[in-house]
Structure 1
Amino acid sequence: MRIFLSESFPDEILFSVVARYINDRPWVKLFAVLRVIYGYVPMVSFLGNGLDHLSASTSACWGLSATEIAEELTCYPYFAALLQPQKREKLLDWMNAKTAGIHAENHVRLTPMGAHGIRFCERCFADDRRGGTPLYWRRVHQLPGVIFCPWHAELLWEIPDFKKHRNGFFSPDIRWNLTPLQPDLNLSDLQKFCCVEIAKISLFLLNRKITVCPETVPSRLLMILENISPYFRGWRKSTCIARLFEMCFGRAYLMLNGLATKEMGLENTTIRFVFGRGRVCAPLRLVLCAVMAKAIESYPNIVEERIFADVYRIPSNRVRPAINKDQPIKRINCPNVNAKHGPDHPFDLLMRKGGYIYATCSCGMTFNYPESSELSSCDVKVSRWSQDHISRVLHMNSLGKSQQAIGLSLGMPTSSVGNILRRNGVIAKLKRRRR
């Protein structure tokens, strides 16, 4: 059966066209019309399903293929610009099907992406009235992370429980009956600039039909940050980048879009989401990286070293560059040449943490040393001495040797000799003098 839908307005989304058709015909039954249009009864979707059936049912009025409907009346072009080709094709197949067992989540990370209700801008509706057109929902307002109108730079309103009313197929004329809300974000000037830029870049991706390589955008941002300051190259660079994200977008915005929680810090959520290499692609992370690069260009003071100095508590020129964890750990031999294993014996267990390598040897000694390309013997510090060293220290102490003499004889620091004697109860633990 064919149906004659109205022509769409600029940037109108598919479910808005269907809602206008139903709203103009109050005598029709909602579910019956949806079955004719989609082939089944759907909920409102910003991507849409059943486009193959919809293409056939609207062939008399539109004459558009399923792919053309996806590109002109859904948010698909935005995702297509930021997805790899194979995932782009799978997402389109999911949209063309009715209710196949394929989920968009398997190909594109839709949450967290600002999974939200229907969003709208009051000034856009005022423009509709002045132009004599009926009110309609815009595609760009429904994109992930978009909370401002790209044309008017005004905070959007949102209808959270839209699916409870007529499956979401209703006219904007009744929006105030459904208790729309505005997020309480308390944004600074910088954060508002970044949120408006998200809307503008998202609109550009929606209309220009370009494609972006998902791998290059985050890496380009990291390159920009690493060239700015050693603080963004050190082993605590994730903390610095997380602080920069909070400065640019605000914690409230990041929590609204699922990029931060009250329980977990920004470093564990935002950084993993933006720079992580997961099986599923999240397009919003690429937009955030592009906006961050533009914010650094427009507000260079946000990356001044004084803002991140407390993270390391040392000058930036003393920050040791972080080592790529994908690279193998640099192995050295155990410095304990007097052990039974003899010289040139490699460590048995190695662990990387905080820019240091922690090593354990079969002789009972543990060491730590910085993970650096220029490593000398003096950089290797002993964390725990072997039982053989402890026995020899105790024996020499029983013979009346001083701590300094014991240390020189065994090649140990005098402080380590004292610590061994205190742990074994040979000398009393020193009491701190009260000030």
Structure 2
Amino acid sequence: MAVYLDEPLPDEILFSVIARYVENAGIENVPEFLRILMGDGMYQPGKVDPFAHLVDETSRAWGMTARDISERLTLAPFYAAIFAGEGRMTAVVKRLRCAPWSGYIASGKPGIRYCEACWREDDGNNYPRYWRRTHQIPGVVVCPSHRCVLFGMGSTYTRTLLRAAAQRDGGTPVVAGSLEEARDWCTVAILARQLLCGDARWSRFGGEGPHRALQPYSDT
């Protein structure tokens, strides 16, 4: 069965693309749909890649490899950049205890995060409001592009993640503080984005992807 997910938008995280499809297609049995889309994909070193089934299901729509998906639509490059050595992704995913389709987002507070300015730009560009990878990086509370505090809503636990991702307003600021603190948070956000993306921003979908100053995702 081929699944025609939407073309991912710039810096979009995997769960955001899936949530939009589930919402637009009116899918009621979400667990069954995720099984069709992902198979039984879990991270098992030396065994089938957790995105192998997704690659097959989206080959007509995306034509991406498992590595493409991991590097462009998940937080795996961020974790791979800060955890060195063999088995680094095994250790990270074991601690996160999250499903690969989430994009390897950490479970718990402050929920999934968005930037009001980014969503206003989405509205102006006739894009659907979508969830950015950069905003979901652990410790990021400010948008590195607009330098404003992010808003959070819902939960990042996989059992409620897609339901939360279907919301498009009603969030609350994830932090409150002084202007000086905001500058520090912005510095953290910019550094986190560099770890996620390397030297280059998002390149055109379907292209060769960004040139990476950091080591690409690998378990070795």
Normalising by the residue count of structure 1, what TM-score does the alignment of the two structures yield? Answer: 0.39
Deviation (angstroms), 1:6: 1.1
Does 1:203 find its partner at 2:193? yes
2:167 to 165, 174, 177: 174
In structure 2, the partner of 1:53 is 53
Does 1:186 find its partner at 2:171? no
Normalising by the residue count of structure 2, what TM-score does the alignment of the two structures yield? Answer: 0.73
Deviation (angstroms), 1:91: 5.5
- Give the distance between the partners of 1:85 and 1:184, measured in 2 at CA: 34
Name the CA shift for 1:65/1:88 in 2 (closer, same or farther; >3 Å): farther
Q: What is the identity, as a one-letter code, of the residue corresponding to 2:213?
A: I
In structure 1, the partner of 2:45 is none
Q: Which structure has the larger Rg over C-alpha atoms? A: 1
Deviations 1:174-210 (A, max 9, x none): 343xx522235322x3321110111111111111133
In structure 2, the partner of 1:88 is 88
Q: What is the identity, as a one-letter code, of the residue corresponding to 1:167?
A: T
Deviation (angstroms), 1:65: 2.0
Deviations 1:385-432 (A, max 9, x none): xxxxxxxxxxxxxxxxxxxxxxxxxxxxxxxxxxxxxxxxxxxxxxxx
Does 1:16 find its partner at 2:7? no
Q: What is the identity, as a one-letter code, of the residue corresponding to 1:8?
A: P
In structure 1, the partner of 2:206 is none
Deviation (angstroms), 1:55: 1.9
In structure 1, the partner of 2:65 is 65
- Give the distance between the partners of 1:27 and 1:65, measured in 2 at CA: 26
Q: What is the identity, as a one-letter code, of the residue corresponding to 1:210?
A: A
Name the CA shift for 1:190/1:114 in 2 (closer, same or farther; >3 Å): farther
State whether residues 75 and 139 of structure 1, in contact with CA within 8 Å, keep that contact through their aligned partners in structure 2. Answer: yes
State whether residues 136 and 171 of structure 1, in contact with CA within 8 Å, keep that contact through their aligned partners in structure 2. Answer: no
Q: Which has the higher contact order (CA 8 A, sep 6+)?
A: 2
Does 1:151 find its partner at 2:145? yes
Instruction: For residue 158 of structure 1, give the secondary structure of its aligned residue in structure 2.
Output: strand
Instruction: For residue 90 of structure 1, give the secondary structure of its aligned residue in structure 2.
Output: helix
Unaligned runs of 5+ in 1: 43-48, 95-102, 213-435
Deviation (angstroms), 1:126: 0.4
Q: What is the identity, as a one-letter code, of the residue corresponding to 1:169?
A: L
State whether residues 2 and 36 of structure 1, in contact with CA within 8 Å, keep that contact through their aligned partners in structure 2. Answer: no
Name the CA shift for 1:162/1:203 in 2 (closer, same or farther; >3 Å): closer
In structure 1, the partner of 2:101 is none
Identity of aligned residues (%): 31
State whether residues 78 and 205 of structure 1, in contact with CA within 8 Å, keep that contact through their aligned partners in structure 2. Answer: yes
Name the CA shift for 1:59/1:104 in 2 (closer, same or farther; >3 Å): farther
Instruction: For residue 174 of structure 1, give the secondary structure of its aligned residue in structure 2.
Output: coil
Does 1:34 find its partner at 2:37? no
State whether residues 79 and 89 of structure 2, in contact with CA within 8 Å, keep that contact through their aligned partners in structure 1. Answer: no
In structure 2, the partner of 1:366 is none
State whether residues 20 and 166 of structure 2, in contact with CA within 8 Å, keep that contact through their aligned partners in structure 1. Answer: no
Name the CA shift for 1:32/1:122 in 2 (closer, same or farther; >3 Å): same
Q: What is the identity, as a one-letter code, of the residue corresponding to 1:142?
A: Q
Deviation (angstroms), 1:51: 1.8
- Give the distance between the partners of 2:29 and 2:63, measured in 1 at CA: 25
In structure 2, the partner of 1:265 is none
In structure 2, the partner of 1:136 is 130
Does 1:79 find its partner at 2:69? no
In structure 1, the partner of 2:100 is none
Deviation (angstroms), 1:35: 1.1
Name the CA shift for 1:27/1:139 in 2 (closer, same or farther; >3 Å): closer
> Over the residues paired in the alignment, what is the CA RMSD in angstroms?
3.1
Instruction: For residue 119 of structure 1, give the secondary structure of its aligned residue in structure 2.
Output: strand
- Give the distance between the partners of 1:86 and 1:76, measured in 2 at CA: 15
Deviation (angstroms), 1:119: 0.4
Deviations 1:86-113 (A, max 9, x none): 1435358x5xxxxxxxx1469xxx9x99
Instruction: For residue 155 of structure 1, give the secondary structure of its aligned residue in structure 2.
Output: coil
Deviation (angstroms), 1:117: 1.1
Instruction: For residue 149 of structure 2, give the secondary structure of its aligned residue in structure 1.
Output: coil
Q: What is the identity, as a one-letter code, of the residue corresponding to 2:141?
A: I
Unaligned runs of 5+ in 2: 43-48, 98-103, 199-211, 216-220
Name the CA shift for 1:66/1:173 in 2 (closer, same or farther; >3 Å): closer
Name the CA shift for 1:151/1:184 in 2 (closer, same or farther; >3 Å): closer
Instruction: For residue 152 of structure 2, give the secondary structure of its aligned residue in structure 1.
Output: strand
State whether residues 109 and 156 of structure 2, in contact with CA within 8 Å, keep that contact through their aligned partners in structure 1. Answer: no
Deviation (angstroms), 1:162: 5.2
Q: What is the identity, as a one-letter code, of the residue corresponding to 1:148?
A: V
2:116 to 95, 117, 122: 122
